[in-house]
Structures are given as structure tokens and as C-alpha cells.
Amino acid sequence: MMQQLLQITSTPIEYQLKIEPARLEFNQADNPKGDISQQTVRLNLASQNTKVRLDTMDMRRSLGFQTNMDRAYAGAQAGRSNFQEFLAEQTRTANALANGAPDGLKIADVMRQRMLEQPQSYTVFLPSTGPDISWVPAELNIDYQPGQVSMDWQTMRNVMEYVPGKYHMEIVQYPKVEVEYLGEPQYIPRSADPNYVEPAE
């Protein structure tokens, strides 16, 4: 029987698997939250009293009470009218004197007649006009704003999150093959063996 000189030992690979399955995480939302704001009823009243306006300017003018502007204008008009009347009167007198007195009248008679002439008179009722009256009626403005209630809801949503699975492999021992020689060493030449015995002849 032949002796086996080689011993072969093999070690297989050794590993660990860690598997984490996929999962679905569900986070439930909190209860809804609401903000409530209330506005009270408002009533605003704005009133304005009756306004009466009296304009007595024309009435005062008819009584002779005038402003500085009115006096200046009236004086200018009166001066112009008086000058025109004086000029017309002097013209008539000069014409009468130049043409001679009619019907045997003498010049002295003409002058006396001009001096005795009286200005015309008019009857005037004062004041000639009344005051200008205008008025603004009373007003009442009502602004009514009804009450309001506002609600602001904050609705929370449910949150779902998908977590994928994981696969993890860890090698604990790598594979290997060990070869072991079981026989004795072979010396060449054989005389090199320290236990060599020379055979007898």
C-alpha cells in the first residue's frame, strides 16, 4: 500500500449577510389648528348742522355803505356824468348868448333863468333791495359696518415616507487551500542524508 505523502486541506469562504427589509413609515399629523379673529360692530355717525348765509352787500350799497372799490368806481362815474352835464349846460348857455335871447329876452334874463333852474328830484325807497339769503340743509351720514368673524384653519397632512431595503454582506473568512507534505525529505544524492548508512557489500 502506497503511503500518501500530501495532505490537502481546504477552508471554504465564510460570510455574514445583513438584510434590512424595505419599510413604509407613516407619520400621523396633529389635530387641525384654527385662528379665530372677531371684528365688532361699528356705527359711525357724522352730522352737519344747517348753514345759513346772509349777503347784505347789495343792501348796504343801496343805503350808501360802499367799499373802497365801490366808492372809487362810483366817484369816477359821478365825476364823468357831472362833467358831461356841466359841459352840455355851458354849451347851451353859450349858444343862447351867441344867438341872442329869443322873444326880446335880455342876456341877464337868460342867466337868471339858468340860475333858477332846479335839478330834478326822484323818490327812492331805501334800502332798494334786501339781503341775499342762501342755506345748506343739515346732513346726517351713517356708516354701519357689521361684525365679522374670520377663521383661519391650518390643516395638517399625514406624511408617508418609503425607506428602501438594505443588503449588507460581510466576509468573515476568505477561502484557502493548505497543502502539507507528510513524507520525509528526499536528499540527492542520498549520501547527503544525515541518517544515511552506507550499505554493506
Task: Tell me: pLDDT of 38 over 80.
Answer: yes
Least confident of 26-30, 116-120, 128-132, 141-145: 116-120
Q: CB within 8 A of 21, min separation 6: which ones?
A: 165
With cut-offs at 50, 70 and 90, classify the pLDDT of residue 97.
low
Cα(16)–Cα(50) distance, rounded to whole angstroms?
A: 103
pLDDT of residue 196: 77
109, 101 Cβ separation under 8 angstroms: yes
Mean of the pLDDT values across residues 20-40? 81
| Res 111: pLDDT | 64
**How far apart are alpha carbons 45 and 141 in whole angstroms?**
6
Prediction pTM value: 0.27
Cα 187 to Cα 105, 191, 195, 196: the distances in Å are 204, 7, 11, 10
Question: Residue length, the chain?
Answer: 201
Show the DSSP H helices in 25-67 as ranges. Answer: 57-62
